[in-house]
Amino acid sequence: MKRVVFNQKGGVGKSSISVNLAAISAAQGFKTLLVDLDVQGNSSHYLGVDESNLPKDKTVADLLKQTVGWFSSAPSPEQFVHATQFENLSLLPASPALSVLERELEMRYKIYKLRDALKTLEKEFDRIYIDTPPNFNFYSKSALIAADRVLIPFDCDGFSAQAIDRLMANMLELKADHNRDLIAEGIVVNQFNPQAKLPQTLVDELKAQDSVPLFATHLNSSVKMKESHHQQLPLIHLAPSHKLTHQFVELFKELEPQHQSIV
Ligand SMILES: Nc1ncnc2c1ncn2[C@@H]1O[C@H](COP(=O)(O)OP(=O)(O)OP(=O)(O)O)[C@@H](O)[C@H]1O
Ligand SMILES: [Mg+2]
């Protein structure tokens, strides 16, 4: 199962949600891969890989770069995957090279190459999560073409509500043209503040639109998230009994209803 976390709006929680769901998935015993397609590399950093220890020639950019040109024996996608310090959790890291590579990949029609690579990797991994950049660009389109399902973070902000319509229009067009099996699995309400009136109003308005289902679990706003990024420890490892961690576990259960939680 390949899930992409996408919203073209910046800062809504794509990286936080993809890393924390992937970490819970791994902790529950699923062999899990996180693919970081954002040149910012926030998910990679969160899982302990940044520019100081970026594996040379072994990032998602290198995987895509080797599809340019003709090779009699191209390296297999497995060679670009790295173990993390967390059991069952592997990473296909981002790299600053993604930005210079984008135009060349686009010009050479390489939009299906990520899908092909993930089809191969899916034989080895039970669950794949893909973090995307805050743009409807070559990489996020590649991810939406490669994925089975899409999760849409929503950060309870008025601008975000407006952005959902545009996002859905873009996604439906891409689905019709390139990936008819793509399922918009649901909107993940993030940075929810149950004490304030506006977040609930915005959530109710989204529900009334009825274009995509909303997950019942809402993720509260908590400083624990920033601490977790800073310590490069997903919440399930940093604070297993924290309320936000429980909410992530509940969200994970909504994704995997047939599996009994061990956390
Ligand atoms: N539930 C939450 N509670 C508190 N802070 C949060 C929560 N979710 C995300 N944040 C914070 O909001 C900021 C943006 O989150 P994140 O990087 O996950 O968003 P993003 O959509 O991946 O951003 P970008 O579009 O830049 O890739 C980060 O500082 C993160 O720590
Ligand atoms: Mg991000």
Query: Rounded to whole angstroms, how far apart are CA atoms 230 and 193?
Result: 22
In the predicted structure, residue 25 carries a pLDDT above the cut 50? yes
> Can you give the pLDDT at residue 263?
46
Ligand 1 pocket check for 11: Cβ under 6 Å? yes
In the predicted structure, residue 73 carries a pLDDT above the cut 80? no
Share of the chain above pLDDT 70, in %: 97
Ligand 1 pocket check for 42: Cβ under 6 Å? yes
Beta carbons within 8 Å of 224's beta carbon, 6+ residues apart? 235, 238, 239, 242, 244, 245
Residue 59 dihedral angles phi and psi, to the nearest 5°: -125, 175
Q: What is the CATH number of domain 2-255?
A: 3.40.50.300
Mean per-residue pLDDT of the chain: 94
Atom of ligand 1 minimally distant from the CA of 7:
21
> Can you give the pLDDT at residue 239?
98
Query: Rounded to whole angstroms, how far apart are CA atoms 98 and 40?
Result: 9
> Can you give the pLDDT at residue 243?
98
Ligand 1 pocket check for 134: Cβ under 6 Å? yes
> Which protein residue's CA is at the shortest distance from atom 14 of ligand 1?
11
The pLDDT confidence band at residue 261, using thresholds 50, 70 and 90, is low
pLDDT tens column, 206-240: 999 888 999 999 999 999 999 999 999 999 999 99
Residue 11 Rama label (left phi>0; alpha psi -120 to 50; beta): left
The pLDDT confidence band at residue 50, using thresholds 50, 70 and 90, is confident
The domains of the chain are located at 2-255
pLDDT tens column, 171-214: 999 999 999 999 999 999 999 999 999 999 999 999 998 889 99
- Residue 90 structure tokens: 């592997």
- What ligand has the least distance to the C-alpha of 16? 1
Ligand 1 pocket check for 96: Cβ under 6 Å? no
Strand 82-83 to strand 89-92: parallel, antiparallel, or no bridges (unpaired)?
antiparallel
- Residue 255 structure tokens: 């994704």
Q: How far is CA 261 from the centre of its chain?
A: 21
> CA nearest 28: which of 75, 72, 87?
87
The pLDDT confidence band at residue 94, using thresholds 50, 70 and 90, is very high
Query: Rounded to whole angstroms, how far apart are CA atoms 55 and 33?
Result: 16
> CA nearest 60: which of 20, 22, 91, 18?
91
